[in-house]
């Protein structure tokens, strides 16, 4: 009986350490999977709405299928002289708790009890750049918690609204779903099949 108990514990241990592979696709590094994408991971700097550095490094990880679809978006945009800049990708669940403490409003920050698509590695915050890497005009800056950031807001210049639509159409063409209250946020197709995750970037890639 004791030998069986030890075997069960051993199997459970292996299952936990490798759970990100069993409860969803593997994570991949977007910098390696999506050529020419620009990374400006704001939570790895103090240049975000918290004013604090929350990530130990500037990494953009996504589930494999999400990254592959993002590569197709980048390729489409390059044909018209544009490209993508990523602000946030996979976000460990414990960071979600910190954001919720600051902005406990489900319109803009997911309740960590339910988790965010970011915590699943199945969402990305992104904007448009030109072929020289310069950000294009958008209705608001990143993490703007106002109605001007909503998809249906017309409180912006015609150029910003057009760029917002270019981004939205390019992402939706490959299955990404926009978030109504944040023009920069897109959920990956089939995000529900991926489990919530709270490992470091390095552990997520193992």
Q: Give the number of C-alpha atoms closer than 13 A to the C-alpha of residue 63, restricted to the C-beta side.
A: 26
Active site residues: 182
131: CB partners within 8 A, 6+ apart: 78, 81, 82, 83
Start-to-end CA span in the chain (Å): 33
- 201 Cβ contact partners less than 8 Å away, ≥ 6 residues apart: 55, 56, 57, 59, 61, 90
How far are the Cα atoms of 31, 149, 167 from residue 40, in angstroms, in the given order?
11, 19, 17
Q: Show the beta-strand stretches assigned E in 50-203.
A: 61-63, 82-88, 123-130, 177-179, 182-187
- Per DSSP, 147 falls in state G
Angle between helices 158-172 and 64-78 (to 10 degrees): 130
């Amino acid at each position: 009986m004791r030998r069986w108990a030890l075997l069960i514990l051993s199997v459970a241990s292996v299952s936990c350490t490798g759970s990100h592979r069993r409860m969803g696709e593997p994570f991949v590094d977007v910098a390696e999977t999506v050529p020419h994408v620009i990374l400006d991971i704001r939570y790895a700097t103090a240049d975000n709405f918290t004013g604090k550095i929350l990530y130990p490094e500037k990494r953009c990880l996504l589930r494999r299928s999400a990254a592959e679809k993002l590569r197709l978006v980048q390729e489409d945009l390059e044909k018209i002289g544009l490209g993508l800049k990523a602000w946030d990708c996979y976000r460990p669940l414990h960071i979600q708790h910190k954001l919720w403490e600051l902005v406990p409003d489900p319109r803009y920050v997911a309740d960590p009890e339910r988790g965010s698509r970011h915590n699943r590695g199945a969402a990305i915050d992104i904007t448009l750049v030109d072929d020289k890497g310069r950000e294009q005009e958008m209705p608001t800056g990143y993490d703007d918690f106002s109605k001007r950031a909503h998809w249906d807001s017309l409180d912006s210049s015609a150029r910003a609204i057009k760029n917002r639509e270019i981004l939205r159409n390019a992402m939706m063409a490959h299955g990404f779903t926009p978030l109504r209250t944040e023009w920069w946020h897109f959920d990956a197709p089939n995000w529900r099949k991926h489990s919530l995750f709270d490992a470091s970037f390095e552990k997520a890639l193992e």
